[in-house]
Amino acid sequence: MGKKGSILVCDDEEIMRDVLETILSGAGYKVDLAKTGEQAIELYEHRPYDLVLMDVSMPGMGGLTALEHLVRIDSEAAVLMVTAYATFDTAISAWEKGCGGRDPEAVSKRTDTCLDRERDPGPPKRRGA
């Protein structure tokens, strides 16, 4: 199977990096790993990726700050934020900074969508609104 595209996974939790790498590389993607926001920025500066999966909460530079840097480097950067501590405010903040992903159940579908460069559908909606 040929490679589908390149994905940068940034998470401070080694187990998350390993699991995502196993799943995504097994699905045919070229996967690189970063454990800090700073490291993700450095890797992206040397090689833009088709998709970045970025943890929101990390020591040092958090994912939202790293997202801002990535969008400055590449205004077309496709970034999905990944977090175990999602809040509506975090989703809005990520969307405002240039991130389109917000539904943990749709990561696989959204990954393919980002790699196909589909336009972002807009800000997240409040549940029950």
Tell me: the pLDDT tens digits for 40-81? 999 999 988 999 998 888 888 888 888 888 888 888 788 887
SS3 69: helix
Do 56 and 66 meet the contact criterion of CB atoms below 8 Å apart? no
Sequence-ordered list of residues with C-beta below 8 angstroms from that of 10, at least 6 positions apart, any chain: 33, 34, 35, 36, 37, 39, 40, 52, 53, 54, 55, 58, 63, 66
Structure tokens at 71: 């969008």
End-to-end CA distance of the chain: 43
Tens digit of each residue's pLDDT (9 = 90 or more) over 105-117: 555 666 666 666 5
Domains and CATH numbers, the chain: 6-115 (3.40.50.2300)
Residue 100: is its pLDDT beyond 90? Answer: no
Tens digit of each residue's pLDDT (9 = 90 or more) over 18-47: 999 998 998 889 999 999 999 999 999 998
Q: Strand 6-10 to strand 30-34: parallel, antiparallel, or no bridges (unpaired)?
A: parallel
